[in-house]
């Protein structure tokens, strides 16, 4: 069963933890609170979905270090950073490091709730894209060398006869390989197959022909 989206609130101020917990639960979120970044990171099972709302200035480990540590551990949750005293340079640093948003204290309740909804939606889309990319890579891995050659010709827009000529095989053999490629890649049509290939190339950083 997929893990429910939970808002993980991290702040060393107990009053703020209690206030945010009440606000977010009232807004319909599931909430877990932590009095430090280390308390969150020391969980035996770090969450893979949800959202983190963290204060930027905390003892032992600040919000920016938490953010970097999450990335190092591949905990790819969106992070919303709470800043005080108009600490814009720190907020900008957090955004450059990948934070979903920053909220200045004191903040409007609705502003925070909207930011969390947006962060959770973006995380949902990113996880779907990641899962789709992993599925395409897994399908590509089971293609034979010849099927990969046929695929390369198809995504270049070459007709079967051209692919056959380039590979030194018959057009009928290309048709057989093409059918197997479509089946293994679970592509409904050629345009979907090309989209899968281009997306895989883009994610792998391969810009070659």
What percent of the chain lies above the pLDDT cut of 90?
A: 44
- Examine the domain organization and report whether 121 and 162 are in the same domain: no
pTM (2 d.p.): 0.68
Q: What is the arithmetic mean of pLDDT over 179-197?
A: 91
**Predicted confidence (pLDDT) per residue in 154-178, tens digit:** 888 899 999 999 999 999 999 999 9
Please report where in the chains the tokens 């905990």 appear, as a residue: 75
Q: Is residue 86 part of a domain?
A: yes
Q: What is the arithmetic mean of pLDDT over 53-77?
A: 87
C-alpha–C-alpha distance, residues 33 and 9, integer Å: 5
- CA 121, 126, 127, 133 dihedral sign is positive
- Examine the domain organization and report whether 97 and 30 are in the same domain: yes
Number of domains in the chain: 2
Q: Is residue 134 part of a domain?
A: no
- Examine the domain organization and report whether 172 and 114 are in the same domain: no
Q: Is residue 26 part of a domain?
A: yes
């Amino acid at each position: 069963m997929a893990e429910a989206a939970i808002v993980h609130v991290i702040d060393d101020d107990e009053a703020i933890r209690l206030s945010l917990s009440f606000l977010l639960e009232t807004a319909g979120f599931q909430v877990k609170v932590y009095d430090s970044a280390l308390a969150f990171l020391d969980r035996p099972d770090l969450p893979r979905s949800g959202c983190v709302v963290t204060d930027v200035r905390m003892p032992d480990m600040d919000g920016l270090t938490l953010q970097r540590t999450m990335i190092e551990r591949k905990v790819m949750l969106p992070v919303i950073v709470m800043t005080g005293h108009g600490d814009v340079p720190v907020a900008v640093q957090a955004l450059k490091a990948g934070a979903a948003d920053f909220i200045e204290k004191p903040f409007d309740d609705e502003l925070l709730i909207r930011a969390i909804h947006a962060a959770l939606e973006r995380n949902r889309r990113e996880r779907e894209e990641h899962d789709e990319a992993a599925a395409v890579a897994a399908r590509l891995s089971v293609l034979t060398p010849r099927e990969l050659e046929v695929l390369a010709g198809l995504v270049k827009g070459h007709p079967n006869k051209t692919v056959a000529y380039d590979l030194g095989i018959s057009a009928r053999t290309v048709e057989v390989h093409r059918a197997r490629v479509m089946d293994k890649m679970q592509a409904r049509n050629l345009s979907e197959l090309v989209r899968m290939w281009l997306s895989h190339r883009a994610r792998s950083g391969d810009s070659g022909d």
